[in-house]
Amino acid sequence: MDALAKDRTLIGNFGSDSEGLIKPTREEAMAAVRTLLAWAGDDPRREGLLDTPKRVVEAFGEWFQGYEQDPSVELSRTFEDVQGYDDMVMLRGIEVESHCEHHMAPFIGKAYVAYMPTNRVVGLSKLARVVEIYAKRLQTQETMTQQIVDAINESLDPAGVAVMIDAEHQCMSTRGVHHRHVSTITTRFSGQFKTNQALQDRFLALANPR
């Protein structure tokens, strides 16, 4: 049996594209954890590791629950009675807890999200939920920044959206170059935030992650 066949035996069958993916069973996922423990050089049968596969699978269920959630659903309930308000709506310091898709190492930081409403607004907690949904997936920070902007644009049709994420990546601090306390900042602007430099500068000044 070749390596690919062995992988399929362990984690289940995969189709030719993402739509054809068959999710492995809980036991298959736990078996994969035991394999990794043995590969790392430890004995998955020793007392301290007996329940580790179960704990890891449960942790994955929490860390990656965003795959089961739809940002458009969170943004679907809007309010049109805004009393003529047409200025920036901004949330600062939204907690970001995500995992790098390259090493599955955590990256943790803050997101700053703003939009310019047209004729409707959305509940403030829903913006935070959109950030959380995308964070609870394997990610790159650049992709997540774009996804948040796209989701708000598609659901609210605002005059503009601005997103900034400031995060520290453990794939950089605990491995590889081992540089701690280095943060990565990504930004994405659309609509008025992209064309109006004064508005963009105001957003960045209000974000003030330092």
* DSSP codes of every residue in the chain: --HHHHHHHHH----SSGGG--PPPHHHHHHHHHHHHHHHT--TTSGGGTTHHHHHHHHHHHHTGGGG--HHHHTS-EE---TT--S-EEEEEEEEEEEETTT--EEEEEEEEEEE-SS-EE-HHHHHHHHHHHHTSEE-HHHHHHHHHHHHHHHH--SEEEEEEEEEEHHHHSSTT--TT-EEEEEEEEEHHHH-HHHHHHHHHHH---
| Catalytic center residues | 100-103, 141, 169, 171
